[in-house]
A and B are shown apart, each in its own frame.
Chain A
């Protein structure tokens, strides 16, 4: 007999499960910054050891996405989800009760690992398992789950740090994890493995594991080492190289774990670039703002100053839900980078400027990241078959997580080492973030132009029901390939407004060929 939970048909239970799965660790990742001194004293960890712990937890988060995709191929997804939620709760329990540093380190790394595994296990099922009329709500939930929690972190972290305690927050996380575990049981319905006989892609897992561990180790060591010191630079460089090798390997593999080769299209490459640029700049910008005001105001006051960050995230979640059925999703993602760039420009004066700069800057960054990450994720998802969604989530979260969590320590290190004064260093670091966003937005726009991309309304019912792409994404640089005619859609009767059958250049050549025939009297 097939076992089913009592809430298996409840959409809102599935929504709550995704929120409970994503919010705790992602919220913690941004909440811990103001709590670090209190936390370090509480678990008897030096600032370097604490930095390394957080780095390894983030590395585990990035690795977990790849691991979860591989496991989902060979084992029943819903059973795995129960295990993931259970393990997350155990990890949270270890962190909250930690009476030795080792317990805290192990617990926090487990939290990171199983959060991303729950993301891969629960989020695609929420998107694909319910009728398409639910998609706007699902989009809002996904946006809030991925980014809303990160945006709420500084506020709650500041309030917690103000009272000088750290365990209550970890107990709350533990409680939410327990709720997620309960919901996995209540909404349980057994599903078969995708393909139990499929080969295992050990190389992808090894490369992702070593790459993430090395990169985050190197980034964490910047807390007490110079950038070019062997212990920081060598792991950073080798981590970046290993992740690059992973991408090349997945592009060239015959049966890849993540569909990298399919992502080399005009819609996907800019979307991935947008998500990575937004992640790599937004979180460091907020941390720089926190650093600038750390000694000027209380943690709670600082948390309140960063409230617009959360407000921006909530607003863009609603906006994303409203726009998900329209052609404007890629535009929303790209415009988010402009908002982040605006926020960065405002924050350049934060080192000696008024508090209002933090209010305005964090609001703009909240609007920007909320507009960028989840819309970029869905832009990529709509380009591929619906069944590929877990792999798309895995690939994008791996790259975004690696960029966002590793960029933070590097940029903070830059702020403390360049310039003649701390204020000058902070300003330079903010300008670096500004440059990352500008380069990301210009490159993504240019790739879109080179491919002659056009905004299209996604055919969501076709994507969900037939499993086919919701829109057509031209190959990379389709517009400049030699002798290329404008790329035709696979099926011009499918409702996609693509495209003229031939380019202007081809029409010109055809006209002169006709002139040749005319002159010979052949017409």
Chain B
């Protein structure tokens, strides 16, 4: 599994999970869950950012995810007197970034794979993969 997909998928789950937890648990518990979710989002963003060939969108998204994760931590532990809406914003932001990241990845894949100066379509990609497998098997 590629770092880009892993990061976006986990961040989507973290954001959605945080939104659910905010309405399912009492405020102190939800605050600690937000702390954990924010920390995990920061770690995922750093992991994704350190991977090679992620593309411009994902680099920007990693920065935003890291900032939102940090914001979730601060909102949970320092600004918790302001209620749950700051955490709601962080959770919604993480979920949105994760979903958009997955969408962008799918769109990129749909456009095909860049090989040198040419771009391969999905069908071509599948056919070449089969050719390559055959060549490997014959070797």
Query: Which residues on A are within 8 Å of B, measured CB to CB?
Result: 446, 449-450, 479-484, 503-505, 509, 511-516, 518-519
Contacts and interface: CB of A to CB of B under 8 A. Distances in A.
B115 A512 contact: yes
A515 B50 contact: no
Given A519-B127, A519-B128, A513 B115 contact: yes
Contacts of A480: 49-52, 54
A516 B52 contact: no
Nearest to A478: B52
Contacts of B127: 519
Contacts of B46: 446
B128 A503 contact: no
- Interface class of chain A by DSSP: helix
A513 B50 CA distance: 26
Contacts of A513: 115-116
A484 B54 CA distance: 12
Contact of B120 (A479, A511, A512): A512
Interface in B38-66: 46, 49-54
Given A446-B46, A509-B115, A509-B116, A515 B132 contact: yes
A270 to B, nearest CB: 14
Contacts of A512: 113, 115, 120, 128, 132
Contact of B52 (A446, A505, A511, A519): A505
B112 to A, nearest CB: 11
A505 B50 contact: no
A518 B52 contact: no
Contact of A516 (B49, B53, B128): B128
B129 interface: yes
B131 interface: yes
Nearest to B133: A515
Given A512-B113, A513-B116, 9 more contacts: A480-B50, A480-B51, A483-B53, A504-B52, A505-B53, A512-B115, A514-B135, A515-B128, A515-B135
Nearest to A479: B52
A514 B139 CA distance: 14
A493 B51 CA distance: 28
B50 A446 contact: yes
16 contacts: A446-B50, A480-B52, A482-B53, A511-B132, A512-B120, A512-B128, A513-B115, A513-B116, A514-B132, A514-B135, A515-B131, A516-B118, A516-B120, A518-B135, A519-B128, A519-B131
